Amino acid sequence: MDLHDLRDASLGRLLVVAGHLAAQRWNRLLTEEYGLTQAGLATLMTLDQHGAMTHRAVAERCFVRPATLTGIIDTLERDGLVSRQRDETDRRAVRLAITPAGREKIAGPAGLVAANPPLTSVDADPARAAVIREFLLEVIGSGEPPSCGNDGPDGRPAARREAGPENGRRPESDAPPGDDTQPESGAQPESGAQPGCDVRLGGASC
pTM, 2 dp: 0.66
| Assigned domain for 50 exists | yes
Q: Please report, for the domain that includes residue 113, its CATH number.
A: 1.10.10.10
Residue 79 structural domain: 12-117+184-195
- Per-residue pLDDT, 51: 95
Tell me whether residue 88 is in a domain.
yes
What is the number of structural domains in the chain?
1
pLDDT tens across the length of the chain (206 residues): 678 788 889 989 999 999 999 999 999 999 999 999 999 999 999 999 999 999 999 999 999 999 999 999 999 999 999 999 987 777 778 899 999 999 999 999 999 988 988 989 999 999 999 999 999 999 988 876 555 455 555 555 554 434 444 444 444 334 344 444 343 333 334 444 443 343 343 333 44
Domain assignment of residue 36, yes or no: yes
Residue 140 belongs to a domain: no
Do 76 and 40 meet the contact criterion of CB atoms below 8 Å apart?
yes
Asked whether residue 175 is assigned to any structural domain, the reply reads: no
Tell me the C-alpha distance between 82 and 194, whole Å: 20
pLDDT at 203: 38
Asked whether residue 137 is assigned to any structural domain, the reply reads: no
